[in-house]
């Protein structure tokens, strides 16, 4: 029943009102419901909550209410839809005008306050754009640094691998050269020189031969005289 004490009644109203508003908010969030709550106190103060806006919820309620009665009243349904189309058209024109103003068009009808508001809006948009640009450039630079470090590591690995393979190839060349030298020495040693059994092949000729300036003496038996024969440059005396 109604609380008679005015102070207690006001305290209870404040507590129950806050709890009711909290429950309405939780219902709209947890259950994804469209909730509208309107409260008038005993003094005539208004307290309200709308998950999507009180006016929008009331309009939706009116449409649903009219639809429930629309089978018998088609004219009222048509009229409500016409009003909805008019509102949407007006909203569309407002958005188009705002877009043109942001592009610097149709500024002749705007006053000083509207121009100042537009200027603040553009400055805020420009600041947000620059911040995003800086963030994107920083991320790209960080990616490039990361790729540079990766390429540096790959280059070091390839350099170490190349040095290792080059050292192995040089060792193989040295071994191949040493083996070639050793094989060549053995082949040269295996070829024994053929020496003649006589130091001079001419010594084997036992026949006398005529030398230049060599004199031969012939003795004639019985006469006691000698005949001298000399060969000089192929001539006989």
Statement: residue 234 has pLDDT above 50: no
Statement: residue 102 has pLDDT above 90: no
Q: What is the mean pLDDT of residues 144-159?
A: 90
Q: What is the mean pLDDT of residues 32-36?
A: 93
Q: What is the pLDDT of residue 49?
A: 92
Q: Of 110-124, 146-160, 207-221, where does mean pLDDT reach its minimum?
A: 207-221
pLDDT-above-90 percentage for the chain = 28
Statement: residue 21 has pLDDT above 70: yes
| DSSP β-ladder status, 36-40 and 215-220 | unpaired
Residue 203 contacts residue 197 (beta carbons within 8 Å): no
CA distance 79 to 172: 99
Tokens, residue 216: 């031969």
Burial code of 49-79, b = ≥16 C-beta within 10 A, e = fewer?
bbbeeeeebeeeeebeeeeeebeeeeeeeee
pLDDT-above-70 percentage for the chain = 71
CA distance 152 to 158: 10
Q: What is the pLDDT of residue 228?
A: 45
When the pLDDT of each residue in the chain is averaged and rounded to a whole number, the result is: 77
Q: Of 38-47, 59-68, 69-78, 215-224, where does mean pLDDT reach its minimum?
A: 215-224
pTM, two decimal places = 0.34
- Could you count the other beta carbons within 10 Å of the beta carbon of residue 37? 19
Q: What is the pLDDT of residue 196?
A: 47
**Residue 69 banded pLDDT, cuts 50, 70, 90:** low
Statement: residue 157 has pLDDT above 50: yes
For residue 229, what is the enclosing H or E element? strand 225-232
Q: What is the pLDDT of residue 165?
A: 81
Q: What is the pLDDT of residue 134?
A: 93
Residue 201 contacts residue 194 (beta carbons within 8 Å): no
Domain spans in the chain, listed from the N-terminal domain onward: 1-72, 73-109, 111-177
Q: Of 6-10, 69-73, 93-97, 111-115, where does mean pLDDT reach its minimum?
A: 69-73
Statement: residue 187 has pLDDT above 60: no
Q: What is the pLDDT of residue 159?
A: 87
CA distance 145 to 152: 10
Residue found under tokens 């003795």: 219
> Chain centroid to CA 64: how far?
56
CATH 3.40.50.2000 describes domain 1-72? no
Residue 70 contacts residue 77 (beta carbons within 8 Å): yes
Residue found under tokens 């000083």: 112
User: CA nearest 27: which of 49, 48, 11, 43?
Assistant: 49
For the segment 202-217, what is each residue's pLDDT rounded down to a tens digit? 444 545 544 544 444 4
CA distance 121 to 139: 27
């Amino acid at each position: 029943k109604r609380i008679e004490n005015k102070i207690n009644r006001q305290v209870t109203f404040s507590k129950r009102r806050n709890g009711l508003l909290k429950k309405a908010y939780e219902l709209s969030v947890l259950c994804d419901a469209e909730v509208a709550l309107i409260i008038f106190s005993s003094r005539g103060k208004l307290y309200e909550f709308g998950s999507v806006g009180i006016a929008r919820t009331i309009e939706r309620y009116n449409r649903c209410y009219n639809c429930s009665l629309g089978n018998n009243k088609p004219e009222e349904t048509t009229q409500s839809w016409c009003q909805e189309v008019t509102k949407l058209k007006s909203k569309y024109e407002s958005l188009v005008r705002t877009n043109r103003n942001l592009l610097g068009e149709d500024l002749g009808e705007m006053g000083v306050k509207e121009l100042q508001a537009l200027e603040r809006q553009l400055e805020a948009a420009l600041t947000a754009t620059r911040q995003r640009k800086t963030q994107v450039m920083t991320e790209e630079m960080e990616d490039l640094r990361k790729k540079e470090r990766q390429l540096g590591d790959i280059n070091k690995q390839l350099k170490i691998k190349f040095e290792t393979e080059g050292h192995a190839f040089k060792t193989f060349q040295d071994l191949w050269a040493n083996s070639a030298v050793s094989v060549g020495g053995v082949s040269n040693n295996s070829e024994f020189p053929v020496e003649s059994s006589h130091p001079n092949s001419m010594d084997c000729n036992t026949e006398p031969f005529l030398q230049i300036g060599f004199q031969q003496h012939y003795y004639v038996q019985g006469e006691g005289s000698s005949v001298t024969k000399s060969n000089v440059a192929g001539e006989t005396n």
